[in-house]
Structure 1
Amino acid sequence: MEPSSLGEVMEVTREFYKLPLKQKYSNFVDGKEFRMDWCDRFYLVVEPESQRIYTLWPTQPPSFRDILSKYPVRCREITNLVLKNLAKLLNLDREYFVNMLDENAMTHARFNYYPHCPKPDQVFGLKPHSDATVFTIVFVDDSVSGLQLQKNGVWYNVPIVPNALLVNMGDVMEIMSNGLFKSPVHRVVTNAEKERLSLVMFYMMDPEREIEPVPELVDEKNLRRYMKIKTKDYIAEIFKTFARGTLSIDTVKI
């Protein structure tokens, strides 16, 4: 994706969060279990287009709607390319995973604003979790770091690469690959001096579609490691586990 296009996306996100409070939506959380993160979040459904509720789309800044309408198209191209190559790695039909994102698949955009935090050692920007998605594409502010990945119990900073997109494997791919691919646990830490912005695209299957290991990847030597579950039920589960600080992927492991 061209750096100029990415620059427009980040700039319109920045302009949105500079608007007065009454012109943008606040982040409300329902439930006593939820530990509030140091982050202002704004969600929109962007695909399928028939599911867009334009009355919820900001009218300011003026370029917001036009830019956000174009950006998911380019991200979908990247997602499809990666999915085709992952299917090839597993000796599956190249369209196998692409076909999961059919006309009923859902894509959500989440705009994140992390203000500078006076006590960064006491609160997360976003607490540890994995994504209940097929794929997640993250465009991060290249002026300040904050995203971290966990490996073997150790947290590592994700390096800042200007004008780059981070493609993150989701829980759905871990389940369907029967554990051959891993959905990384990640978090966002806060910064005492600088604010941080990001735009995240969540690619999810049709809510009524079932998630389970691909039959070709299960045999006597490679036993089934995950239970079957509907997409909508798994999404509901991740909200519960996120509030508790646990991982939803653990609820479907055999």
Structure 2
Amino acid sequence: MATFPVVNMEKLNGEERGETMNLINDACENWGFFEIVNHGISTELLDTVEKMTKGHYKKCMEDRFKDMVASKGLEAVQNQIDDLDWESTFYIRHLPESNISEIPDLEDEYRKVMREFAKELEKLAENILDIFCENLGLEKGYLKKAFYGAKGPTFGTKVSNYPPCPKPDLIKGLRAHTDAGGVILLFQDDKVSGLQLLKDDKWIDVPPMHHSIVINLGDQLEVITNGRYKSVMHRVIAQPDGTRMSIASFYNPGSDAVIYPAPQLVNKEEEKSNIYPKFVFEDYMKLYTAVKFQAKEPRFEAMKTVEDRVNSGPIATA
């Protein structure tokens, strides 16, 4: 089994740039995931985000989660649970407009730190997208423009904690799915594992590493790259010991962005067979919400039925 791809981003600035770009391209084509180190976000900021996130969970969310478990009788389940995830979460929207000031229970210092973290992640996401453009032979900024829509991209963060689970064989931390959107940047616990991806019909652990960011690709990048890059199924396995922190930030198209394969990545024969559809991202999300934990291919097929009414026009520029 090939080793999970880990990319040292500093090597993009030196003699090993070509080799590093190839590693990223291979990860996008064959894994749908890779992990980056030396990515430019300070370790001090990452440590503060982790400390405050774990503190907020202990203070404001842990008892609520225990009450939910007790009310549903989950500690005594005997059969597999297929309609519930063993996670405690809240969601922050950053773009096009932030809602962080409206989220209850967050201390002011935590809000400030998460705003700073979001700015760093937004820059990193756009840098990653330009690396993809270079590898794909697209002009710099193409993917950012493709995501833009009328008000820019949508960008938000799902803050999750996965508490110890008494029946990890019967309850998933998070059921298997592909992500609907663009590029996902995950800051995860470096001590408690649980994230797995599906490769060659086998579940493979995404290694927890100190101060790393895990990158994974969403369905929209698969469409825009005409299937050259793939979104892949992944899941979180609940653990019997330790609470796993997961902060996943989603850099996605704007709700009105029109998504379709980049013309440079479609050859004439494929054009006739029309492999991937053209659609408005918001329409895709409406469908995805209902069938998130099912295979992605029927979603793409369903989008073909609405393709006729989508007028692509030129890609809006930032």
Offset at 1:23?
9.9
Q: Deviations over 1:158-179 (max 9, x none)?
A: 1121110001111110000010
Q: What TM-score results when the alignment is normalised by the length of structure 2?
A: 0.72
Per the alignment, residue 122 of structure 2 pairs with: 76
Q: Deviations over 1:196-250 (max 9, x none)?
A: 11111011111011111112211224443211121111111111112xx303453
Q: In structure 1, how many angstroms separate the alpha carbons of the residues matched to 2:156 and 2:297?
A: 20
Q: What TM-score results when the alignment is normalised by the length of structure 1?
A: 0.89
Equivalent residue for 2:144, pick from 75, 83, 98: 98
Offset at 1:88?
1.4
What are the ranges of 5 or more consecutive residues in structure 1 without an aligned counterpart?
28-33
Structure in which a larger fraction of residues adopt helix: 2
Q: In structure 1, how many angstroms separate the alpha carbons of the residues matched to 2:61 and 2:220?
A: 36
Q: Deviations over 1:92-140 (max 9, x none)?
A: 1111012234343211111101110011111110000011111110000
Equivalent residue for 1:147, pick from 192, 195, 205: 195
**8 Å Cα contact 1:39/1:114 also seen in 2:** yes
Offset at 1:22?
10
- In structure 2, do the counterparts of structure 1 residues 23 and 126 end up closer, same or farther at CA, with 3 Å as the change threshold? closer
Whether 2:209 is the aligned partner of 1:169: answer no
Q: Percent identity?
A: 27
**8 Å Cα contact 2:222/2:230 also seen in 1:** yes
Per the alignment, residue 42 of structure 1 pairs with: 90
Equivalent residue for 2:247, pick from 199, 223, 240: 199
**8 Å Cα contact 1:17/1:24 also seen in 2:** no
Per the alignment, residue 13 of structure 1 pairs with: 53
Q: Which one has the largest radius of gyration?
A: 2
Q: Deviations over 1:47-70 (max 9, x none)?
A: 22x34262225433x411100111
Per the alignment, residue 134 of structure 1 pairs with: 182
Equivalent residue for 1:226, pick from 272, 276, 280: 276
Q: In structure 2, how many angstroms separate the alpha carbons of the residues matched to 1:76 and 1:54?
A: 19
Q: In structure 1, how many angstroms separate the alpha carbons of the residues matched to 2:135 and 2:221?
A: 13
Per the alignment, residue 235 of structure 1 pairs with: 285
**8 Å Cα contact 2:61/2:88 also seen in 1:** no
Q: CA RMSD in A?
A: 2.2
**8 Å Cα contact 1:238/1:247 also seen in 2:** no
Equivalent residue for 1:59, pick from 77, 96, 106: 106
Equivalent residue for 1:121, pick from 140, 145, 169: 169
**8 Å Cα contact 1:88/1:94 also seen in 2:** yes
**8 Å Cα contact 1:228/1:252 also seen in 2:** no
- In structure 2, do the counterparts of structure 1 residues 59 and 42 end up closer, same or farther at CA, with 3 Å as the change threshold? closer
SS of the aligned residue for 2:145 comes to: helix
SS of the aligned residue for 2:187 comes to: strand
Q: In structure 2, how many angstroms separate the alpha carbons of the residues matched to 1:153 and 1:229?
A: 30
**8 Å Cα contact 1:40/1:114 also seen in 2:** yes
- In structure 2, do the counterparts of structure 1 residues 52 and 24 end up closer, same or farther at CA, with 3 Å as the change threshold? farther
User: Which residue type is aligned with residue 217 of structure 1?
Assistant: L
- In structure 2, do the counterparts of structure 1 residues 11 and 101 end up closer, same or farther at CA, with 3 Å as the change threshold? farther
Whether 2:134 is the aligned partner of 1:88: answer yes
Q: In structure 2, how many angstroms separate the alpha carbons of the residues matched to 1:225 and 1:95?
A: 24
Equivalent residue for 1:159, pick from 194, 198, 207: 207
User: Which residue type is aligned with residue 229 of structure 1?
Assistant: F
What is the number of residues matched between the two proteins? 244
**8 Å Cα contact 2:56/2:106 also seen in 1:** no
Per the alignment, residue 25 of structure 2 pairs with: none
